[in-house]
Structure 1
Amino acid sequence: MPPFEEASADELAAFAALSEREKMVQGLAQDLMRDRLKARDLCQKYNNHPFIDWREDLQLNEFYGPDSRLQHLADLFELPLERVRSIAIEPPLYVDYGYNIEFKGDFYANFGCVFLDCAKISFGERTILAPGVHIYCATHSVHVDERVAAYERAYPVEIGDDTWIGGHVTIVGPAKIGKNCTVAAGSMVKGDFPDNCVIGGVPARILKHLDPPTGPINPKDKRLVVPLPGSKSAAKNDRVKF
């Protein structure tokens, strides 16, 4: 443990002038328990609020309503209700604060995701999360005296456009995942990863580099009517062919 070093009067004054939220964003020791309790209340209201009643002509953009339900997300993320309509999250959802989460475009998260957003979490356009994805910005000092005083620290997480995060992936800040990536189920991710790659493992590493996308797939493309490589159906077809 490093020796005790007293902060200067100017450093203490600058620290005291910051709000707890400003301290959090700057990665300084902070205490924001009241904000966390507010977020917990909003998550509970969202998770327990009934969906819109089913009907045959129900449109996809209506499914996560009614507006009274979506308003809980709007309050949680501090976003306009209209913006929240493109953010689809299956309950239950758990966050620390909510207002440190940025959505750059359409977003989908499956059941049981956890976002400890003590620092900024940024989701690129069309990000898709499978069930049970956990993102941890929050951390604690290895020095016990900070933990005893109930201070926290945090590191940001950034996820690029068109990235798919598999089931039960854990992402620990600081982390930056590029665009057009796939993260294999069960991986533990920390650090920086480039665009256009498949990531997997504990700890995660690059498993495969991908060609950049060329645009939405043609609905007549044969790839849509054959099993993905590695599936049981694909293996059966291979046996028949050979």
Structure 2
Amino acid sequence: MTEKEKMLAGLHFNPFDSELVALRLEARLKTERLNQTSMAHRKQRTAILKSLFGSTGKNVYIESSFNCDYGINIHVGENFYANFGCVILDVAEVRIGDNCLIAPQVGIYTATHPIDPTERAQGIEYAKPIHIGHNCWIGGHATLNPGVHLGDNVVVASGAVVTKSFGDNVVLAGNPARVIRTC
């Protein structure tokens, strides 16, 4: 298996592999272009996002600044909006449904590292996919950790740290996040 195949399969991989380095550089150049493109040029910004992401709905908008690892592993549905300072570490797939809102400074992190210090010191990484259902709202400064799956109609309160998966129609808050009400 190539390092990219290992990465996408959730296995330990070498992030310094030349193919992965080149893919990250390509993504960083596109995000740099996005972040430097005026908000007045909405069509140009949308075109950059569509070339960066693996797939999008027709209506997608992200405020600058935005950062990601690869871009190609991000799939967003229709009517996607992310506010200022969004970071998506898409080492594994990040799939976000229709009508989702991401507040400022949200972190969505698929990347993780071994617990064993010897392995970690070797630079080995692995990743777990994140899936967010339809009609979700992720509040400001919330963090979604590797492997989290959220159902439809989920609200994540500001500052919440989501460390495990939750089903539909819930409001999450806290660190670690827990259900504080159903909706």
TM over 0.5: yes
Aligned positions of 1:20-59 closer than 5 A: 20-30=3-13, 31=15, 32-52=20-40
Greater gyration radius: 1
Q: Assess if the C-alpha contact under 8 Å between 1:155 and 1:173 holds in 2.
A: yes
Alpha-carbon displacement from aligned partner over 1:142-176 (angstroms, at most 9, x marks no partner): 12232232221011111110011110000001101
Q: Assess if the C-alpha contact under 8 Å between 2:57 and 2:78 holds in 1.
A: no
1:148 & 1:34 partners in 2: Cα distance?
22
Higher RCO (CA 8 Å, separation ≥ 6 residues) = 2
2:57 & 2:5 partners in 1: Cα distance?
25
2:113 equivalent to 1:140: yes
In structure 2, relative to structure 1, the CA distance for the partners of 1:86 and 1:155 (3 Å cut) is same
2:146 & 2:128 partners in 1: Cα distance?
5
Alpha-carbon displacement from aligned partner over 1:86-110 (angstroms, at most 9, x marks no partner): 1111110000110111113220001
Q: Assess if the C-alpha contact under 8 Å between 1:51 and 1:66 holds in 2.
A: no
What is the identity, as a one-letter code, of the residue corresponding to 1:28? L
2:109 equivalent to 1:109: no
Q: Which 5+ residue runs of structure 1 have no aligned equivalent? A: 1-17, 53-63, 211-242
2:64 equivalent to 1:91: yes
2:134 & 2:58 partners in 1: Cα distance?
18
- How far did 1:85 drift? 4.6
- How far did 1:22 drift? 1.5
1:89 & 1:129 partners in 2: Cα distance?
9
2:54 & 2:89 partners in 1: Cα distance?
16
1:209 & 1:70 partners in 2: Cα distance?
34
Q: Corresponding residue for 1:6? A: none
2:120 equivalent to 1:163: no
- How far did 1:190 drift? 1.5
Q: Name the TM-score, length of structure 1 as normaliser.
A: 0.69
Q: Assess if the C-alpha contact under 8 Å between 2:54 and 2:73 holds in 1.
A: no
Structure 1 runs (4+) deviating above 4 angstroms are none
2:3 & 2:53 partners in 1: Cα distance?
18
- How far did 1:78 drift? 4.2
Tell me the secondary structure at the aligned position of residue 25 of structure 2: helix
Identity among equivalent positions (%) equals 39
2:176 equivalent to 1:203: yes
Q: Name the TM-score, length of structure 2 as normaliser.
A: 0.91
Q: Corresponding residue for 1:179? A: 152
